Amino acid sequence: MTTTEPTGSAPRRGRGRPGYDQAAILRAAVELFNRKGYDATSMGDLAKELGLTKPAIYHHVTSKEQLLSQALDDALDELTAAVTAATGDRAGQTAYERLREVVRRSVEVLVAHQPTVTLLLRVRGNSGVELAALERRRWLDDRLAALVADAVAEGALRDTVPPALVSRLLFGMVNSLVEWYSADGAYDPAMLADAITVIAFDGLAKHAA
């Protein structure tokens, strides 16, 4: 960012060229990919959305798949940072504490990077780019499953449900955020993380104290 251009996704009003940069085109592309699906979105759709012609898009971007790749990298980089930050061996922290922290950090990433994470969670493996993203996702899932298994072994979590199943259901709940969360909604990230950890770890039911 060396220019004084506005960083918002909307073109400047009035005279002159809209002046999109690569980041603004990527944001618009991700929004369309999520709304219509990647395959159902044509580069013509993207051009119309931006008020450009199709060839004009290719002035900023080399391919449709490059847009997908950059979006998936954004999500994966953020999620990897969240997981490694929370799962690193930190003196005096139990696996249970680290698990609660990785849930909280994951929620924060889902909220802050909702568009790209949404796209990531819908990847089917239809291309090399998608298969590479799925591989990075699997690495994250394995880390999370290992952390849950540690927390069970530690005696912090109930052992009546298989750890692998717990991990899938817990992060299934976390990931479901992307289906309905919108930044302009009433929920703030800290409150969401609290709600999820309360439901998952303490349960919904009021128990006779």
Partner DNA sequence: CCTACCGATCGGTAGG
Report H helices in 61-113. Answer: 64-87, 95-112
Distance from C-alpha of 64 to C-alpha of 61, rounded to nearest angstrom: 8
Distances in whole angstroms, Cα of residue 87 to Cα of each of 25, 26, 93, 140, 155: 34, 31, 10, 11, 18
The reply to whether 37 sits near its own copies by the rule CB under 8 A is: yes
Q: Which residues, in sequence order, are CB contacts of 184 under 8 Å at separation 6+?
A: none
Residue range at the interface with its own copies (CB under 8 A); choices 12-20, 52-60, 62-70, 196-204: 196-204
Residue where the block lists tokens 């002159």: 16
Closest by CA to 22, choosing from 72, 53, 56, is: 56
The reply to whether 165 sits near its own copies by the rule CB under 8 A is: yes
- Candidates 7, 63, 84, 176; binder of DNA (CB under 7 A) is 63
1 Cα distance to chain centroid: 24
- Candidates 44, 128, 155, 162; binder of DNA (CB under 7 A) is 44
Residue range at the interface with its own copies (CB under 8 A); choices 8-16, 50-58, 85-93, 193-201: 193-201
Distance from C-alpha of 147 to C-alpha of 86, rounded to nearest angstrom: 10
Min dist CB 54 to its own copies, Å, is 19
86-125 mask for its own copies (x: CB under 8 A)?
----------x-------------------------x-x-
Site residues (CB under 8 A) for its own copies?
35-40, 96, 122, 124, 126, 155-158, 160-162, 165-166, 168-173, 175-177, 179-180, 187, 192, 195-196, 198-207
